[in-house]
Structure formats: C-alpha cells, structure tokens
Amino acid sequence: MFYKSILALVLLGVFSSANALELDIEDNKKPNYLLGFFVVEAIMGVNAWMASESPNGYGTISALAFPLAGKSEETSDFVYWTGLAAIESVAIYNINLDSDEYSKSEIFRNNMKAWHAAAGVILAISYIDSKWINNDTISVTPKSGGVEVGF
C-alpha cells in the first residue's frame, strides 16, 4: 500500500502543476470556479487519503517534493514562502504522527482539516499581498521565539 501511495503522490505532482490546471481564458470568457473548487478538493482528498495509508511515508516524500513545485511569475516571494511553510507544516505533522494512536479515518479527517487550513492561509496571504503590500516594503526580522513582519 505504501508504494501505491508514493505512486499516487508522484502522479499527483506531475498532473497538478499550475499549468495543468490553468484554464484557457480566450475560449472561456469566465473561468469555471466550480470546477476549480472540485479539482482542489479532489487534490486535498487524495493527499489526505495517501496520508491515512502511510502517514510517515507520505510526510517524508511530500516534505521533499513540495518545494519542487516551483514558483509562478505572478506569485510574490512573500506568498510563495508563506504558502510553502503552510504546506510543509502538513508534511511535518504527518512525519511526527504516530499511526498506531489514530485510526485511518481520524488521520484522513485531520489531514483534510490541515489542508483546508493551509489553503486558508495561502488565500488570506494572497489577498493581503494583492491589496496592501508593496513587495518592496516588506521586512522579516528574526526575534527570539519567532519573527517580526513589517510592512
């Protein structure tokens, strides 16, 4: 089952790149948001299923694979690195998960919650970046116990 999870993760990474999900705006004047919603939910569901099958293996493979996704030209560095931190936190959660302590359905549910939380962080940061942040004026300063973000 572990090898099926790895194969599914590799296939998901190959077929879910930003270019593969891009809609041809010239043919459709309006993007199909409902289709996009279902595609994203399916990707989250497949990731949660793979994590429920082998949490430690999924976490390890995904921790190494997520940074390989790359950054599109439209995405600012702030959004990219914040989003990467959000999805890497899901991978780290799975690496540290004791699969004997939770059932597969609990692991699936927790991963779906984690993926939705990561998506919420990415959407919120994208909105804040597009409305209020001039990319030349952001600073991140390390402090003891965390960081200070200045705009």
pLDDT in tens, 80-107: 888 899 999 999 999 999 888 999 999 9
Averaged pLDDT score across all residues of the chain: 80
Question: Regarding predicted confidence, which is higher, 18 or 140?
Answer: 140
Question: Regarding predicted confidence, which is higher, 108 or 131?
Answer: 108
137 falls in which pLDDT band (50, 70, 90)?
low
Whether 74 has a pLDDT exceeding 70, the answer reads: yes
Gap between the Cα atoms of 105 and 108, Å rounded: 5
How many other CB atoms sit within 10 Å of the CB of residue 99?
A: 16
pTM: 0.67
Phi, psi of 97 (to 5 degrees): -75, 135
23-27, 45-49, 96-100: the lowest-pLDDT one: 23-27
Q: Please name the amino acid found at residue 94.
A: N
Element (H, E) at 139: strand 139-143
Gap between the Cα atoms of 86 and 4, Å rounded: 25
Q: Please name the amino acid found at residue 73.
A: E
